[in-house]
Each structure stands twice: as structure tokens, then as C-alpha cells.
Amino acid sequence: MATTQFYCRQPKSIELINGQPQFDSKFETTTEKPDCKASQYSPSGKIFAFSEPQSVVLVDVNTGAIVKKIEVQDVFDLLFSPLGSYLCTWSKPIKNEFGNWNDNVKIWRIPKEDPTDVKLITEYSSKNQTGWSPQFTGEETLMTKVLNQSEIGFYKLGADTIKLDKPVDTLSVKEIGKIQSFNVSPGKNPSVAIFIPEQKGQPASIRVYSVTNFKKPVSQKQFFKGERCQFTWNALGTSLLALVSTDVDSSNKSYYGETTLYLLGIAGSFDQRITLNKEGPIHDLAWSPTGREFGVVYGYMPAKTTFFDSRGDSIFSFPEDSRNTILFSPHAKYVLVAGFGNLQGTVDIYDRQDKFAKITSFQASNTSVCKWSPDGRYILTATTSPRLRVDNGVKIWHASGKLCYVKEHTELVSVNWLPQDLALFPGIKKTEIACEPHQSAVEYLAKRNKSSGNASGVAKPSGAYRPPHARNSAAPAQSTTLWQKEKLMNDASQPQPMTSSQLASQPRQKVIPGAKPVLPPGLPIESKAALKNRKKRLAKKEKESTASPEVESAPEVPQLDTLVIGGVSSLEDKKIRSLLKKLRAIEQLKAKQIDGEHLEDTQVLKIETEPKVRAELTSLGWSE
């Protein structure tokens, strides 16, 4: 059985690591300065390329030997053609002495027979790093490149040079509009899809042309509310998903605009808008490797995950949950549905061939990269920079949810699997046993369990939320809420009224006509109406206590040391109540954050003021 491999790129080093079961280093290089800006495996699975300040280095993935150093300076991006026969590089654009931009995009031919015989076949200028790369047909017979805002040129491959001023064919839509994006399909019968955004009152449109006939599209769709479009082809190149988005939501329900999904079939000129039965953005979508179905994660959190067939009909849906990522395994047996980004990192694995039966769930917190291995048995999750600057590293999980390998890095920039044909690996059996974890995984789990005080390794129930300052104390969390504590403090700050029996036990005061009445000690001065209402309340309370004498006595109210002057709370008490109100609002926001709800920047800043609020409360004599 073939061995999988993945690379890890740091600012100052590159490493190729073999997969299960060895997890040993195949190739490693380091530099004194953070010079490595780009790296990529070739789709053929034979070459690994990475950039240096003065060159691009080609490495044989099987031996770990350096095959060739291509002399080209300051390469910031790399791209291989579908079969790995061509390498495209993008360097930082520089103006020459005449004020013209240099040819910073270069295309190199890498012969399969002799990878050392690398030749430059063409070059051109592209100032923007976004959208700089040319595209190739699946069998590398044609290369496409944007000529201007309304034209795409097609060039024949195979010769030692490409004349960019003489394309073999041109797709032009000058009479319709400007091309915002395009994508060439995989497969043996290539097509090209273009997106024309709405302008001057004209609707946006998606058009799909066969590369052999640009006169009439084989499929098209027109609509309004379209500013950008992301194309996703199935593996056969016979169906296309178009995710159309706008910057502004006309219904004012979202800050992030609107998203709409369209399905276009090349055979039979089929097109349809996919009906999603929950409002909200489309988080992720993915085609099955079979090309006959796809999955979509959509809607406001908790999101919904639904699977559709190649005609856009719904076939299955998972219960709503906090998820925003979906990935099919290479053999289409497993489906991964996870919640990354600002969610908790829960990963669910389902068996597609067993009616979407759930296999396992595990936690991969702070994940920014998630990939299935080429054999469909393992899952790579990684935390990379600059998405997150802490806890960078790679974890390899078995499909059963078992952690197999861990490698921590100070700063990890990029990571990916080596592309390999699925035929190199045996099929997955139902009785297949998960691998034995690598020593790195054993040490990582032991360290994590020790820090959490869980020697058994079994996850403990989370229980009720406790604020950070109270988590390490031995005393159990009190069930009294901040609102209840505030109410108790307010009640304690007011003098307790006397009952009728207490009033009767007081000595009779002598009444002097024209003088103010002398009230019993502790009783505040009140108006006649207030006195009348108080007597009514006392009479009602005595009546209720007489009717139900067996009712248990109320729990003793904790006494708070408050300063009360003439029945009015002091300034300190008012300040404490105000701070408690702020603290209660902060805990409500933290609960929303734990549930995965999106918080505004002002709400996040409010949470960060918690230590300051608690410090003020402590200085005023308040305690939990």
C-alpha cells in the first residue's frame, strides 16, 4: 500500500512528512530569514515546489532530493497545471527604467521524462496577485488567459513557446458586458463558464460555452442581485454550481449581503435555482466525488445541512446545528460536517453508504485548514497563521475520531496532502480497525489531560457556566444569579416594616394636638396613603399565613453590610447596583458567545471590560 505524505511550511522552513504509520520527515530545509512565500505539490504527485528569494526549488517527493532550481526572483505564488506538466509563477511586479511593468508571470514546461529539463515557454505582466493565474483544460491541450475585460484568449499547448499575441480562439462578450470571473471545467470535453455582473439595469448572467464553439452557450442563467460569482464544477465537468453573492442585503437582515445558489447542467441545457428552506447565508458547499450529488450548509446559526441530487432535488437533511463546513472523502463513503472559524470546532463524521449513519464526533478547536487524506482514512486539521497566531500546528485524525498524530509549530503558514490516486490504496472495510496513535499523539493527550485534571482521558461534563475567577475554587458554583443578588441587596437596604403584633407591643405614645406624631424607631416617615397601603398589605399577609400555617418558613436572607441613612440607599449601594447590572449584561453576552452566536465589535469590547467591573465591585466591598 502506498504511503501518504503532507508538507508543512513555516516562514523559515519547509518539511515533507510521511503519513501513517511512520510520520517521519522525508525532506526538510531551513533558512535564517522568513524567505519562503509559496509552496505546492504537483497534481501528478511527483514534484514539490517552493520558493526562495532567488529561485523556485523542485523536490522529488519519493526520494526527498532536490531535482532543479529554477532561477526566478521574489516568487510570491505558484500554480501547477492539472497534470503537472506546467508550472506558473507570480513575482512581485517591478517597473523598469522606462516606467513599464516587468513580465512578472512566467510559465515553465516540466517534462515528465526529465524534470530537470525545465524551459520557459512564455511570460507576461500582471500587477494584481488576485486572478493572475492562467487556466488549463483537464488534458492540458489548451491554456486560457484574460485578454481584457470582455475577452478570454485560448492558446494551444505542446510547443516550446506560446505566442500570446496569437491565440487559437477568443471568447468575446463585448456586446453583452464585462467578464467578472471565469472557470474552465475538468474532464475530457472541457467547457468554460463566465459570469457577467448586472450593470446599467441589465440582469447578471452565467454562460457556459463549449471550448469548440463560442457562438452559442450550451447553458445560461439570467438574474438580478448578482455582483460576484464562485464556480464549483463536479469531477466529471458535467454540472456546475454557481454561488452568487451581493455586498448589500436588500432586506437588511444581514451585514454580509445575500447569497444565492444556481445549478447548471451542461448536458441538456439544464439550469435551476436551488431552493434552500432556511433564511441566511450559504456557508459552504461541496460536490461528491461521484459527481451525482452535492451538499450545502446554509442558514443563520444553527445552520442546516442538506444534500441534493444532480437535478437539484433534496434527498437528505441533517438536524440543525452550529456547522459551516462540509467535505466528502475521496471515495465518497464518508461525509465530514464541522463548525470551524468562530464556532467550537465540533467535527461530525457520517457514513454516506449507510444512509448517513453517524460514525463519530470529535473536537478540533481553532481549526483553519481541514483536508481528507488521499486514501479517505484520515483527516488533517491545522491551525495556521495569520488566521490564528497561537496554538499553530497539525493534527491527524482517523475517520473513527481517534487522534493519531500531533506536530506543534510556533508559526505554521501552509499545510496540505500530497495528491495521490485513490487506486493506490485498498478499499475500506467495515471491520477496519483504527490505527495505533503515534507517540506525539499519546504525549499530547497525556499533557492535555494532566492540565485539565482528567487522568482517565474521558471528557467531563461541562456543567453550569462559572466565571473565570471562580473556576479554580473548591466551593461549588452558587445558583443565585446576579439579578437575585441585586434584589437581595436592595431588599436588605430597606428597613423591614413591623407586623401588627410588633406594633401592639410598643408602648402607647402620648399624642399632643398640633405636634408631629412620633413614630416607632426604625419606621420611616411616610404619607397617609402609604401608611394605608402598608396596613392593607400586612393584613393580607397575616390572612395568608393564618390560612396556611404548615407552609415552610422562607430561607434566611443573607444580610449585606450596607449603609442606610433615613431609609435611602447610599451612593456606594447605587454604584454597586449599576455595576451588577453591567456584569449581568456581560455574562449574557458571554453565554451567547459560547453558543456560537455572532457578536458585534462593541459587544466583544463590553465583554473585555469584565475585569475592570469586578475590580470596582471589589473596591466597593462587594463579593460573590
Query: Considering only 252-256, 538-542, 613-617, which range has the smallest mean pLDDT?
Result: 252-256
Confidence of residue 457 (pLDDT cuts 50, 70, 90): very low
pLDDT at 456 over 50: no
pLDDT at 474 over 60: no
Instruction: Report how far residue 259's alpha carbon sits from residue 514's, in angstroms, rounded to the nearest whole number.
Output: 81
Instruction: Report how far residue 62's alpha carbon sits from residue 516's, in angstroms, rounded to the nearest whole number.
Output: 104
Percent of the chain scored above 70 by pLDDT?
A: 80
Residue located via cell numbers 505564488: 77
Phi, psi (5° rounding) for residue 9? -110, 125
Looking at residue 551, its pLDDT comes to 39
Got the DSSP string for 17-68? Answer: EE-TTT--EEEEEE-SS-----EEE-TTSSEEEEE-SSEEEEEETTT--EEE
pTM: 0.69
Looking at residue 455, its pLDDT comes to 45
500 and 538 Cβ atoms separated by less than 8 Å: yes
Confidence of residue 287 (pLDDT cuts 50, 70, 90): very high
Looking at residue 266, its pLDDT comes to 84
Confidence of residue 298 (pLDDT cuts 50, 70, 90): very high
CA-CA-CA-CA torsion sign (134, 188, 314, 198): positive
328-364 confidence digits (pLDDT tens): 999 989 999 999 988 888 999 999 888 889 999 999 9
53-64 confidence digits (pLDDT tens): 888 999 998 888
> In the chain, where does the domain assigned CATH 2.40.10.480 lie?
37-133
How far is residue 493 from each of residues 514, 527, 564, 573, measured CA to CA in Å?
A: 33, 20, 6, 8
Copy the grid coordinates of residue 277: 428552506
Amino acid at the residue 437: P
pLDDT at 368 over 80: yes
136 and 86 Cβ atoms separated by less than 8 Å: yes
Looking at residue 481, its pLDDT comes to 56
Average pLDDT, the chain: 81
Confidence of residue 154 (pLDDT cuts 50, 70, 90): very high
501-536 confidence digits (pLDDT tens): 554 455 555 555 555 555 555 445 556 676 777 777
Copy the grid coordinates of residue 356: 448517513
Looking at residue 485, its pLDDT comes to 61
What end-to-end distance do the CA atoms of the chain give, in Å? 61
What is the rounded average pLDDT of the residues 250-264?
79
pLDDT at 161 over 70: yes
pLDDT at 77 over 50: yes
Secondary element (H or E) of residue 572? helix 571-594
Amino acid at the residue 590: K
In 427-570, which residue ranges form alpha helices assigned H by DSSP? Answer: 439-452, 482-493, 500-505, 528-547
538-584 confidence digits (pLDDT tens): 787 777 666 544 434 434 433 444 444 334 445 677 788 888 888 88
Q: What is the layout of strands, in order, in the sheet containing 25-30?
A: 25-30, 13-18, 5-10, 414-417
Confidence of residue 497 (pLDDT cuts 50, 70, 90): low
Confidence of residue 6 (pLDDT cuts 50, 70, 90): very high
Q: What is the CATH number of domain 37-133?
A: 2.40.10.480
The residue ranking higher by pLDDT, 269 or 479, is 269
17-44 confidence digits (pLDDT tens): 988 878 888 888 887 777 788 999 999 8
3-state secondary structure of 613: helix
243 and 232 Cβ atoms separated by less than 8 Å: yes
Nearest to 274 by CA among 303, 248, 296: 296
